[in-house]
């Protein structure tokens, strides 16, 4: 398994307009939303990156005006799941 560690210099981290206790979770959310928005990360993986439940991540996307990407394959998967 590959792992990426991102280091942010103290001066930059201190400049974030977010309370220190919220910085890591907020950065994870921002990264997850942007990667999802640019179709670089699928919904489930983006949600896992920021540690939110499925519904909380959907709410975050809606709050930021991000339209959920939903294709025909996902529709077929959902219809199949509902049939079970």
Based on the structure, what is the number of domains in the chain? 1
Q: Mind listing the pLDDT tens digit for each residue in 30-54? A: 999 999 999 999 888 999 999 999 8
Domain span at residue 47?
Answer: 10-83
Angle at the Cα of 36 (from 33 to 39), degrees rounded to 5? 150
> Is 61 part of any domain?
yes
> Is 3 part of any domain?
no
Q: Mind listing the pLDDT tens digit for each residue in 6-20? A: 999 999 999 999 999
> Is 22 part of any domain?
yes
Give the residue from 22, 4, 5 showing the smallest Cα distance to 13: 22
Q: Mind listing the pLDDT tens digit for each residue in 51-72? A: 999 899 999 999 999 988 877 7
> Is 4 part of any domain?
no
* pLDDT for res 84: 64
> Is 5 part of any domain?
no
Listed in sequence order, the residues at least 6 apart from 25 whose beta carbon sits closer than 8 Å to its beta carbon are 50, 51
CA dist 25 → 59, 63, 75 (Å): 16, 17, 31
């Amino acid at each position: 398994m590959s792992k990426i560690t991102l280091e942010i210099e103290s001066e930059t981290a201190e400049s974030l307009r977010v309370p220190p206790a919220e910085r890591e979770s907020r950065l994870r959310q921002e990264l997850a939303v942007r990667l999802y928005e640019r179709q670089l990360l699928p919904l489930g993986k983006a949600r896992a990156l920021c540690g939110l439940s499925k519904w909380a991540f959907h709410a975050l996307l809606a709050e930021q005006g991000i339209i959920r990407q939903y294709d025909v394959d996902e529709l077929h998967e959902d219809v199949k799941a509902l049939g079970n």
